[in-house]
Amino acid sequence: MRRRPTVQGWQNLVLLSMGALVLAGAVGGALLLNRYDDMSRRLTEHIQPARIAAYQLQAALRDQETAVRGYAIAAEPLLLQPYYTGEETERAATQEIRDVLAEFPELIADVDAIERAADEWRSSFAEPLIARIKPGTPEVIDPATSDRGRALFDGIRRLFDVQNAHLAEARQHAVDEIDRVRVWRDSVLIGMVATFFVAALALAVIVRNAVNRPLEALARSCRNITSGNFDDRIVPQGPSDIRAIAADVEDMRQRIVAELEASHTARSRLAEQAQELQRSNAELEQFAYVASHDLQEPLRKVASFCQLIEKRYGDKLDERGVEYISFAVDGAKRMQVLINDLLTFSRVGRISAQQTEVDMDTVIDDALANLDTAIKESGAQIVRRGASARLTGDPTLLTMLWQNLIGNAIKFRRENVAPRVQIDCEQASDGWEFAVSDNGIGIPAEFADKVFVIFQRLHGRDSYTGTGIGLALCKKIVEHHGGTIWIDSSYTDGTRFRFTIPTDPAAEPAAADTTDPEGATH
């Protein structure tokens, strides 16, 4: 079976033919344009300047003749000034003509003839006449001398006419040549345009017969598949390359069918996993309820009865016994705080909460009110700088964020140094950037990331209280609002926390259960 040509093969043939014609037209056009430029340059740079210089030459000689006749009548030396000026103009015009007509010896001959005639007129008539007449003493020129001078200059005038005729002839020849080249140029351009149209028509016919019809059939098959008829097989037809495309689409259809079957299987498994996740979440909620109620109730009883034993039987216990009871009460209370902190941490971003426009100044005021006792006891100085920020978020979570950061700044203070906490707020390109700086004990640079990990503590409980959840909770709240938090290691006078919050977070975050606004501490 004879192999059918591809669409690309037909297109290549047409484009090759069109390219050959265009190349031939381009070469011919280039030659014509070069000839056109040559004739235009000859006309504008040689013939036209030569004609102007010829007019100047002729005018200079006429000025000389007029000056000689006037001097012969009046014997006034001033009347000879045009004569001498005309000689200078004559020399300049002659040189100009020789320069621009260097490639035209036949036109240079006219200039040589005029120059010879002018030299003869000056040597045999003008110069002797000027020498003979004394200034201020007019005399009558004899008719023979006058006729001889007139005859000589009439010969120069005839040479003027010959020169002008030859220059006009050269100009007309250049104009005729330019017109002839322009006609050929236009013909070549028209031929090139016609070639383009014929090639476009041929391409349109090829595309319709070899591409459009097979592609329309392929498109109908594809539409049937997209409508859900995945079992309809695509039959290749048309040129070999269109057939190859159809075969590729058929392979794709088969892969889609296989992937759909795999997708149905995966969707079934996903539905089962979603049910399992719902069950797990329900168990987690049940655990949270148990942790917040059932687990804390025994701890409260342990603490209460230990305190009751200490109150009633404290006088019967030795110092070691009182210390043991104190350890038990303290451990129960710390366990309660730890449970509450864990609940708060786990609920951020999981339990639905309020999303509203928040005035950050109001949020900071609430946090400072919650820390009022700690501020007064420590003598802390709170400094607030920057613009008033308004953004979208959960006011209770943000209050907890500020309360933890400011509380840490007060708690981790230097001995015998009153805490100074500075709060900065400035607008960034996509939201707000905040900073909390203190003059406390600081955090070493190597622990800048570690402090945000839950349960990570840099100090023992005997030095500073806390559960190690506070900064992890701060990070979770900031990220819940679409921002980031970090420690500014360039600040060396204490600790400076920086965090950003977008003005309007792109995603609606799930919020936390905030029944305990005191939150957790570092």
> Tens digit of pLDDT for each residue in 22-58?
777 778 777 777 777 777 887 788 888 888 988 998 8
CB 222 within 8 A of CB 239: no
Residues 475, 363, single domain; the answer is yes
Instruction: Say whether both 162 and 242 belong to one domain.
Output: no
Q: Which long-range contacts (CB under 8 A, 24 or more apart) does 455-464 make?
A: 457/522, 459/412, 464/411, 464/412
Number of domains in the chain: 4
Looking at the predicted structure, is the pLDDT value of residue 510 above 60? no
Domain co-membership, 142 together with 284 = no
Confidence check: pLDDT of 276 > 60: yes
Distance in angstroms (rounded) separating the CA atoms of residues 244 and 232:
18
pLDDT digits (tens, 9 = 90+) for 80-104: 898 889 889 988 989 988 888 888 8
Average pLDDT over residues 475-500: 88
Q: How far apart are the C-alpha atoms of 494 and 476, rounded to whole Å?
A: 23
Task: Reply yes or no on whether the pLDDT at 508 is more than 50.
Answer: no
Q: Is residue 1 part of a domain?
A: no
383 and 247 co-located in one domain = no
Classify 219 as helix, strand or coil: helix
What was the pLDDT predicted at 1?
46
Tell me: do 329 and 359 sit in the same domain. Answer: no
The answer to whether residue 323 sits within a structural domain is: yes
**Stronger pLDDT, 490 or 185, i.e. the higher one:** 490
Residues 98 and 63 both lie in one domain: yes
Confidence of residue 219 (pLDDT cuts 50, 70, 90): confident
User: How much is the pLDDT for 265?
Assistant: 87
Q: Where are the beta strands (DSSP E) in 397-468?
A: 420-428, 431-438
pLDDT of residue 511: 39
Among residues 308, 323, 347, the one where a domain terminates is 347
Residue 59: the pLDDT is: 92
Same domain, 335 and 357: no
Distance CA 341, CA 520 (A): 5
Does 364 fall in a domain?
yes
Token look-up 């100047």 returns: 56
The percent of residues above 90 in pLDDT, for the chain, comes to 5
Residue 227 falls inside a structural domain: no
pLDDT 10s digits, 263-275:
888 888 888 888 8
- Predicted local confidence at residue 519, as pLDDT: 41
Structure-model confidence comparison of residues 147 and 231, the more confident one? 147
The confidence score (pLDDT) of residue 79 equals: 85
* 448 φ/ψ angles, rounded to the nearest 5 degrees: -60, -35
Instruction: Pick 322 or 63 by higher pLDDT.
Output: 63
Q: Where does the pLDDT of residue 522 fall: very low under 50, low under 70, confident under 90, or very high at 90 and above?
A: very low
pLDDT (mean) for 70-82: 85
> Do 472 and 449 contact (CB within 8 A), yes or no?
no
**What letters, b where the CB count within 10 A reaches 16 and e where it falls short, cover 246-267?**
beebbeebeeeeeeeeeeeeee
Could you report the per-residue pLDDT of 373-404, keeping only the tens digit for each? 888 888 888 899 887 888 888 888 888 889 88
Q: Are residues 48 and 166 in the same domain?
A: yes
Same domain? For 447 and 521 the reply is: yes
Is 216 a domain residue?
no
Q: Are residues 250 and 275 in the same domain?
A: yes
Is 125 or 315 the better-scoring residue by pLDDT? 125
Is the residue at 230 inside a domain? no
Mean pLDDT of 473-479: 87
Give per-residue pLDDT as tens, 415-457.
Answer: 888 899 999 998 888 888 999 998 888 877 777 777 777 666 6
Residue 278 forms part of a structural domain = yes
In angstroms, what CA-CA distances link 381 with 384, 406, 497, 516?
10, 11, 17, 26
> Do residues 45 and 170 share a domain?
yes
pLDDT of residue 416: 83
Domain end call among 313, 347, 381: 347
**Percent of residues, the chain, with pLDDT higher than 70:** 80
Same domain? For 342 and 356 the reply is: no
Q: Which domain covers residue 190, as residue numbers?
A: 7-203
276 within some domain: yes
How high is the mean pLDDT of the chain?
A: 78
pLDDT of res. 436: 92
Q: Tokens 């946090």 appear where?
A: 367
What per-residue confidence (pLDDT) applies to 14? 67
Structure tokens at 461: 């409980």
Determine the average pLDDT of the residues in 258-262.
81
Per-residue pLDDT averaged across 334-348, rounded?
A: 60
Which residue among 288, 309, 327 closes a domain? 288
Higher pLDDT, 481 or 301: 481
Question: Are the CB atoms for 439 and 401 separated by under 8 Å?
Answer: no
